[in-house]
Amino acid sequence: MVLVGAGRTDAGVHATGQVIAFEVEWTHSLGALTRAINIQLPDDVAVRDLEPCTDRFHPRFSAASRVYEYTIVLSQDRIPAMRLYAWQMYGTLNVAQMNAAAAHLIGPHDFAAFGAATTGESTERNVYRAEWREVAGDYRQLKFVIEANGFLYRMVRRVVATLVRVGRGKLAADDVAAILQSRDATQVKDTAPAYGLCLVDVTYKNV
């Protein structure tokens, strides 16, 4: 069986909304097929839903947008349960300034400063939303949601690391616009850890 996915992620990145396509001969219900596949999968992978598709559908090339979410935990104490799912750090972050900086990313831009394309591909992408929000809970948790028509290699992790520098007062919000316009990858100093990143959704239109 050949599997075709909506995209690839770095090692350590999670996905709750990955989409794959495959061809299979099956005479029973989709629910029975879901159960049959999940029995064979390792414990850290599961099929959530199955739908029939046409020959025109391609998980990657038919996608209208992808949505990633990055989680940060701010705590003076380690939170072992979040060790593999969030970037844990001490201190505080200025979320308002981080959102002001993130606003510069929205729209069509050349994101060469924040990521690399595969050979021959353009580094231009269109970001539809990019925002931080605080999640209520036992400890302070921030989530960064970014949606675009596509992403460059390590683009989201480098964006997050840059916005964290803004939150820590090491960069001004407008500095992010200057970095973006520079198209110079050497302007981005850090890459956020992979384990805080998750592909949460892939959207499609007219398929």
User: pLDDT at position 118, please?
Assistant: 72
Contact 71, 160 (CB under 8 A): no
181-197 pLDDT, tens digit per residue, is 999 999 998 999 999 99
Supply the residues annotated as catalytic. 10
59-76 pLDDT, tens digit per residue, is 988 999 999 999 999 998
The verdict on pTM exceeding 0.85 is yes
Domains and CATH numbers, the chain: 64-204 (3.30.70.660)
For tokens 């981005």, the residue is 188
Mean pLDDT score, 103-119:
92
Contact 62, 207 (CB under 8 A): yes
d(C-alpha 42, C-alpha 22), whole Å: 18
19-31 pLDDT, tens digit per residue, is 989 998 888 999 9
For strands 63-74 and 197-204, give the pairing.
Answer: antiparallel
Mean pLDDT score, 161-188:
97
d(C-alpha 88, C-alpha 126), whole Å: 29
User: pLDDT at position 144, please?
Assistant: 98
| Percentage of the residues of the chain whose pLDDT score is greater than 70 | 98
